[in-house]
A and B are shown apart, each in its own frame.
Chain A
Amino acid sequence: MDLILFFCFINFLFLIFLYVRFFRFSKTILTREDALLVQMKKQLERLDRTAVKQEDMLEQGLAQSRKHLLTTFNDQLETDVKLIGKHLDERIQEYTTSIFSRTDDVLSKAVSKSEAEIIEAKKNTMADMEKRVQELIVRAAKISIARGLSLSVHEEMVKRAIEEVRHELSE
């Protein structure tokens, strides 16, 4: 009986020991957990600060890059515009010169041809006019004579004409 009590007592002591050990272990765990929590909080805060800082830096970098890009683009655009303008000017100049030279040739030929044609046409017109005027004068003279002569003279002239024909036929 005593032995049993003894064993029970021993077990009780062992249980107490185990309880104490558990208590101490749990206390240690809790302490360490708090420390870890604090440490984690600190690390998180530091991480947050670092992130904010890096974000600022990134924004600044991006802004600078954008600015640089815009400046470069503007410069390139300006250069291209100048280059295109220069090429365009050259092409326009060449084209204009070509057109003017060709136009000059055509015009000079046309003018020389036209002058010759005008002179020729003028001559022909003058000759034609002169001929027509002469014809008109002769026609007017004929009609005037026809009107001016008396009927008897006309008849006499026709008689003479018939006699002339008779004379010509008899020869």
Chain B
Amino acid sequence: MSSANNQLIQHVVEAVETIKDRDLVVELCAMELEQKKAKAVLADYGDNLNQKLNDAVCSFIDTKPDRASIFRLIKALETIKTIRLTVAFYPAHTAISQWHAMCQEMVHAPVSLMIIKDKTIAGGANIEMDGRLFRYSLGDEMEKL
């Protein structure tokens, strides 16, 4: 039971794409600990949540996790690396999923994206990771000019 939960926890962690996703899962975990209806709350999010995460969280909740499992999930979520993407627009879910997949492939570990909108970026993105800032935006290129 415990190993099955570990696998489910891993699925949830991998499905978390953004900071918002992570915060939502932590909130759901807190509700489970208080024995409230976390699944009903999850259903309310509907299309605002990516399908993969929805499925992973539903699977985890369906196993009626004990407190230890929930705490393990929360701890695993806290250890996820965060990558800050500063872009000029609010991206679609599909784009976020693609970027998340690329970022995970890049760091070889689960990551969550923090997406910040700033129109002065103009195009491209400024990517902040592990205290390093990578500037690949049109805005910065224009500043150089």
Which residues of B lie under 8 Å from residue A168 when comparing CB positions? Answer: 134
Query: Which interface class (under 10, 10 to 19, 20 to 34, 35 or more) fits B?
Result: 20 to 34
Contact of A166 among B88, B102, B139, B142 (CB under 8 A): B102
Known contacts A151-B89, A158-B95, A158-B99; A138/B142 CB under 8 A: yes
- Cross-chain contact B106 with A158 (CB below 8 angstroms): no
Given A139-B120, A164-B134, A164-B136, A151 contacting B92 (CB threshold 8 A): yes
B123 touches A153 (CB 8 A): yes
A15 at the interface (CB under 8 A from B): no
* Given known contacts A146-B88, A155-B95, A161 and B137 CB-to-CB distance under 8 angstroms: yes
B42 at the A/B interface (Cβ < 8 Å)? no
* B70 at the binding interface (Cβ < 8 Å): no
Check A160–B124 contact: CB distance below 8 A.
yes
- What does the 1/0 interface line of B61-78 toward A look like (CB < 8 Å)? 000000000000000000
**For residues 113 through 167 of chain A, which have their beta carbon under 8 Å from a beta carbon of chain B?**
138-139, 141-143, 145-147, 149, 151, 153-155, 157-166
Kindly identify which residue among B102, B129, B138, B139 contacts A163, using a CB–CB cutoff of 8 Å: B102
A165→B127 contact, CB < 8 A:
yes
Residue B119 at the A interface, CB < 8 A?
yes
- Could you tell me if B106 and A154 are in contact, using CB atoms closer than 8 angstroms? no
Contact between B134 and A149 (Cβ–Cβ < 8 Å)?
Answer: no
A4 on the B face (CB < 8 A)? no
For window 102-132 of B, CB contacts with A under 8 Å fall at 102-103, 105-106, 119-125, 127, 129
A154 touches B134 (CB 8 A): no
Given contacts A138-B142, A151-B92, A165-B134, contact A159 B98 (CB under 8 A): yes
Q: How far is B143's CA from A151's CA once the two chains are assembled, in angstroms?
A: 23
Q: Are B99 and A162 in contact (CB under 8 A)?
A: yes
Specify which chain B residues have a CB less than 8 angstroms from the CB of A146 in the assembled complex.
Answer: 88-89, 119-123
Instruction: Contacts A154-B89, A162-B99 given; indicate if A145 touches B122 (C-beta within 8 A).
Output: yes
Known: A159-B102, A161-B136, A166-B106. A145 touches B123 (CB 8 A): yes
Residues of chain A lying within 8 A (CB to CB) of residue B122: 141-143, 145-146
| Residue B12 is within 8 A (CB to CB) of chain A in the complex | no
B residues neighboring A (CB under 8 Å): 85, 87-89, 91-92, 95, 98-99, 102-103, 105-106, 119-125, 127, 129, 134, 136-139, 142-143
A-B contact pairs, 14 of them (CB 8 A): A138-B143, A142-B142, A143-B120, A145-B122, A145-B123, A146-B119, A146-B122, A153-B123, A154-B88, A157-B138, A158-B95, A159-B102, A160-B136, A166-B106
Q: What residues make up the interface of A, taking CB atoms closer than 8 Å to B?
A: 138-139, 141-143, 145-147, 149, 151, 153-155, 157-166, 168-169
Q: Contacts A142-B122, A145-B122, A165-B134 known; list 14 others, CB within 8 Å.
A: A138-B142, A141-B122, A142-B138, A145-B138, A146-B88, A146-B121, A147-B119, A149-B123, A151-B91, A154-B89, A158-B99, A161-B134, A162-B127, A165-B129
